[in-house]
Amino acid sequence: DAGVTQSPTHLIKTRGQQVTLRCSPKSGHDTVSWYQQALGQGPQFIFQYYEEEERQRGNFPDRFSGHQFPNYSSELNVNALLLGDSALYLCASSLVGGNEQFFGPGTRLTVL
């Protein structure tokens, strides 16, 4: 039973560029959440997707957008990258309304 998978593992971009991160949820899960974790801090909620729609959004600008596909996988897009966007981006999957979120290994994004 595969857990949550994310790609790529690492990514280096320059300021102003755009990036797309991908996530496949744990088998049987239908809900995907994205978190940003800066070095030395706790994860910060970006948004959650269910039934291909954004259900809830954290305090992140519109440069951060997402998508969920019919197979429940999800993408996180970040436009006009800033140095401060450098972080570990974590995807977590769950069943809708479930209490436990299963985190993927994350994508380490470095913006130069």
- Is 77:29 a contact under the CB 8 Å cutoff? no
Say whether residue 25 binds another protein (CB under 8 A): no
Written as six digits, the tokens of 95 are 């069943």
**Positions in 37-96 near another protein (CB under 8 A):** 41-45, 48, 55-56, 58, 90, 92
Of 71 and 99, nearer to another protein (C-beta) is 99
At 107, list the tokens. 């994508």
Our CB check for another protein shows the closer of 78 and 101 to be 101
- Do 106 and 6 meet the contact criterion of CB atoms below 8 Å apart? yes
The DSSP call for residue 72 is S
Single out the residue of 26, 64, 101, 111 in contact with another protein (rule: CB under 8 A): 101
Residues linked to residue 88 through DSSP beta bridges, in sequence order? 37, 108
**Nearest residue (CB) to another protein, 19 versus 43:** 43
Query: Does 33 contact another protein by CB under 8 A?
Result: yes
Judge residue 14's burial from the number of C-beta atoms within 10 Å of its C-beta, 0-12 exposed, 13-18 middle, 19 or more buried: exposed
Applying CB under 8 A, the residues found at the interface with another protein are 33, 35, 41-45, 48, 55-56, 58, 90, 92, 97-106
